[in-house]
Structures are given as structure tokens and as C-alpha cells.
Amino acid sequence: MAKFGEGDKRWIVEDRPDGTNVHNWHWAETNCLEWSRNFFNKQFSGAVILAGEGNLFIKVNKIEKVEGEAYVNVRKGKIIPGYELNVSLSWEGEAKDSEGKTLLKADGLVDMPYISDENADEDPEIRFSVKDEGPIGKTLKEAMVKKGKSIILEKVRFYVETMAKGGPCKDELESKKVAPKSAASATVAVEKPSASPVVSAAAETKVVKEKKKTTKTKEGFKTITMTEKFNCRAKDLFEILMDENRWKGFTQSNAKISKEVNGPISVFDGSVTGMNLELEEGKLIVQKWRFGSWPDGLDSTVRIAFEEPQPGVTIVNLTHTDVPEEDRYGNATVVENTERGWRDLIFHRIRAVFGFGI
């Protein structure tokens, strides 16, 4: 066994004297917290929400705080963003009468306590408040919620998308992508026979690109398998998973679930949509699932098989196939987040709410 500090040099990645991170072998981590503050300030400060509709004028003042952590990890060109942010912004509203006289000026806050890469495919919680709780103040707050929520969420989604592309590292990463392509083309032209160099190089380049595309399609999906135990009858658990009102109860989100084969389903406030493929009461649920953040045209298959080895004990075998490794924004945490969602947001919640054991 080698002594500490005397390992086989073939397995040691040493720092180069010039500081170059060759092929991004090391994790290249960039702290993005200050960049995130500047990003949100640029997006929100002075943003107009209402400009006179209904004699109401509302705009965002400024970002009050951006706390937490934000970073981008890059290794071998793979972008892995991470962030958990608590963001607050202030807003001001003014209500006028039909003659243009000011009835009330009020200030308020918008709090987003948890913007996280773990929930990149979901909209964050937004809390609105106003300092003047009188009738006109409440009217301003309601208008801010109705009109401002969609504007705020759009800007947050833009942040999520930008972080997935590298955040402050985006320009550097894009420049690195261009160089290998040129080098590859040059190499191909040299390696082909000299009889018709131009045609051969073009043909070789086409083959390489098609091969890469096929490989990505083949290897870009994962299967999630889980086995969970519940202290209940199989038919009771089946009914819970097929009852939209109970879904609303244990997920605290809207749900619409058809009980017919080929009928539509929508859960987690529409973040997941799909349809029933097979239904066998107390024994089997097969559904098509699609997350709104996935690339267009991608669907996965959820298969939930129920076994009841003894009365009052149910074993659930979940198989979730064709889960893409990346979402439409380039986040590579889709499989991890989906598995966590099944475990923490569905199975654990059912146990806690309905008392089916731990």
C-alpha cells in the first residue's frame, strides 16, 4: 500500500503550473450568488405590473434580498447548476379615482422563500403582502397577485433556464464548444484518402454527427424502480392513487384524474400530465406521464403493481421507464428529482396522511 501522498501518479490529477483545467477533469465550480443578485436586480427593479388599468398603478421597486447559495459546476463540459435561494422584492402601488386624484399609495413585499434546482420543473411558492390592509390596500394587493404573479414567475423561469445553460459561465462554455468541432473536421479531412478529400471529409463529418445523435437518443433515458411497503389493503391504496380529491389532500396541490382507460390525468397543479393506459382495481395502474419541463414530444410510462402477501400489508412495485436525463433547460437532475418526488411527495405523504405505516 502506498504511503499518503505517494500514490500511483497515473491516477493522480495534478494541478498544471499554468492553472489549466485540462478537459475539465476537475470540478470547475463557480460561485453564482452575487451574479444571481445582479440578475434578479436587472430583471425586477422598476418592472411595471399595472400602468393605469382600473386606475391602478403598480411597479416593482427593487430586490430587497437574495440569500442562500448558488453555483455552477462544470466537468467535461457537463453543466450542473445548484441553488437554494430566498428572494424578496418590494413593490409600490397607487390607486386613483376617475379624475386622477390619488386615493392611496401603498407599499408591499413579494417573498419567494425557496427557489431551488431540486424544484426546477416546478414554480416556486410566492407570498404577497401589503402594509396597508384597508379596502384600497387589499385591492392593490389582489391586483398585484392577479397581474404580477405571472410576470414574476416568467422572470424566475428565465433565471432557471439561464442557470441550466451555465449562468455566468455560459459565454466561456459556448466558446469552448466551437473549437473541438473545427479540430474534428480538420482531423477527418486528413485521415480520409487523398483521392477526393473534400467529398470524403464531408461524408465523414455527416457520419460522426448522425452517430452522436443516435447515441444520445439511446442513452438519454433512465428507468426508476422502487419497492414500498404499506400497512393497508391493496384496494385502498389503489383508490387513493386514482382519486383526485385524495391526491389534492396528500400533495396539497390540484389534481384531475380520470378513472377510465385512455382518460386524462393531471397532478401537481398541472406540472405532470398524461393518461391511463391500463387499470386493474387493486392490482395494477399503468399511466403515461409527462412533466411540463421535459423536451417536447417526450412521454414516460409509470407502472404500479400492487401485491398483498397478507391482509393489511401491501407491497408496491413501481417501474417508471423512459425518464429523460435532462429537461428542456439542460438540467441533468431529472431522474434524481423524479425519484425523490415518488419517495417524498407521494409514498411518504400517503403514509403520513392516511396512517399507513412508516
Asked if the model's pLDDT at residue 263 lies above 80, the reply is yes
- Show the DSSP H helices in the chain as ranges: 33-44, 135-143, 149-164, 170-191, 197-219, 234-241, 244-251, 334-340, 348-354
Q: Which amino acid is at 179?
A: A
pLDDT in tens, 145-180: 999 999 999 999 999 999 988 888 765 555 555 444
Asked if the model's pLDDT at residue 204 lies above 50, the reply is no
Asked if the model's pLDDT at residue 353 lies above 80, the reply is yes
Report which DSSP code applies to 10. G
CA triple 320-217-192, angle to 5 deg: 160
Mind giving me the DSSP string for 103-137? EEEEEEEEEEEEEEGGGTTSPPP-EEEES--SHHH
Give CA–CA dist 229/357, Å, rounded: 8
Higher pLDDT, 22 or 71: 71
Higher pLDDT, 336 or 205: 336
CB 284 within 8 A of CB 306: yes
Based on C-alpha coordinates, what's the Rg of the chain? 27
Same-fold call for 22-174 versus 221-354 = no
Higher pLDDT, 277 or 168: 277
Place of cell 413501481: 318
| Beta carbons within 10 angstroms of residue 56's beta carbon | 21
Which has the closest alpha carbon to 28: 211, 147, 166, 175? 166
Asked if the model's pLDDT at residue 316 lies above 80, the reply is yes
Quick one: cell of 194? 487523398
Measured in degrees and rounded to the nearest 5, phi and psi for residue 26 equal: -70, 160
CB 111 within 8 A of CB 62: no
CA distances 140 to 59, 129, 133, 170, 234, Å, are 11, 10, 10, 39, 50
Which has the closest alpha carbon to 89: 127, 117, 56, 124? 127
Which superfamily does CATH assign the domain made up of 221-354 to?
Answer: START domain (3.30.530.20)
pLDDT at position 7 is: 45
pLDDT at position 87 is: 96
Query: Domain spans of the chain?
Result: 22-174, 221-354
Q: Which amino acid is at 215?
A: T
pLDDT at position 84 is: 92
pLDDT in tens, 219-233: 789 999 999 999 999
pLDDT at position 330 is: 82
pLDDT-derived band of residue 77, with 50, 70 and 90 as boundaries? low
pLDDT at position 15 is: 43
Candidate ranges 193-202, 212-221, 348-357; pick with highest mean pLDDT: 348-357
CATH number of 22-174: 3.15.10.20
Quick one: cell of 31? 460561485
